[in-house]
Amino acid sequence: MSVVKETFGETSDGLAVDVFVFGNATGLKVKIINYGATIISVEVPDRDGQLADVALGFNDMMGYQGADNPYFGACCGRYANRIANGKFTLDGAEYSLAINNGPNALHGGLVGFDKKIWAAEIIGDSVKMSITSPDGEEGYPGTLKVEITYSLDDEGELRIDYTAETNKKTVLNLTNHSYFNLTGGGSVHGHVIRINADRYTVVDDEAIPSGELRAVAGTEMDLLAPTPIGKNTDAVRGLGYDHNYCINQAAEGELTLAASVVDPESGRTLECWTTEPGVQFYTGNYLNNVKGKGGAVYNRQEGFCLETQHYPDSPNHPGFPSTELAPGETYAHTCIYKFGIEG
């Protein structure tokens, strides 16, 4: 195992951005920058040992700071996913958030964690990134201190450990927004996915939950058995999958296999493990002529996301698992993306 730090570039404001390069014994290589705590590439061997970059992204900071960046590989926060009308009530006080997705708040607001420079240091075979969000930033209460530790092992596990503390009661929902394509390019319709969830959160046309947790059985949302991503995509409400699945956990906070994906063409596999109660399965429905790495152009459903998190709009749904964080408590969340080759 090895981790090295290199220079990636500068922001439009002239701030230096570093890239941390992880490598393991199988040839797997991961690159993460401290702008947005962003995973910018994941090179994985196929069944013949040929490497391909399976993470969508950009060549440089111009791309990551550009208007076309759909959160490629970034940490989303303070609140990943949507909060209806950018409002919630906490202990009787109403909070109004920055609006950036129609009438709603999405992924932390106008300048979320995905657009921040994180402090970063190599600790052994890991990289710890940290940031402090002041009280009131983007409308959220409390001064929040967040740490993310990235590590890679020789079994192909890219592990992301999040912790956070606040000095005032707040709400918090963090995730990683990597887009994957295990072939290395083209449509992901042929990828075969299984999601370990009996239910999902029903949403309206603006992707806001109604509060209903509906059974997937017998519907186009049923991914309990291995299913090609493209099989039922056209039957899914909206442009394709962009839904939170309620993971079948034996106990709250238990590390659980949320989803597994196989690319029959390359033989590459991906398992997604998490301690969170939900995973947002998104099939890149809004990708449209996005100019990415190495001359690639990304279009609709040429990448998929498995965003481990709490349910969308949880602060406005008392029946959902709580996203509240109080002083003296520690937010903790683990996500593992495990890459391999099918036997």
110-152 pLDDT tens trace:
999 999 999 999 999 999 999 999 999 999 999 999 999 999 9
Closest CA relative to residue 37, chosen from 78, 7, 88, 76: 76
Q: Token digits for 138?
A: 């983007």
Asked whether the whole model's pTM tops 0.95, one would answer yes
What are residue 2's DSSP bridge partners?
23
Q: Which helix (H) or strand (E) holds 12?
A: none
The reply to whether 177 belongs to the active site is yes
CATH classification number, 2-341, choose in 3.40.50.300, 2.70.98.10, 3.90.1150.10, 2.60.120.10: 2.70.98.10
Q: Which of 177, 243, 317, 333 is catalytic?
A: 177
Question: What confidence category does residue 238 fall into, taking pLDDT thresholds of 50, 70 and 90?
Answer: confident
Question: What confidence category does residue 271 fall into, taking pLDDT thresholds of 50, 70 and 90?
Answer: very high
The reply to whether 189 belongs to the active site is no
How much of the chain, in percent, has pLDDT values that exceed 70? 100
Q: Where are the domains of the chain?
A: 2-341
Q: Which of 307, 310, 317, 333 is catalytic?
A: 307
280-290 pLDDT tens trace:
999 999 999 99
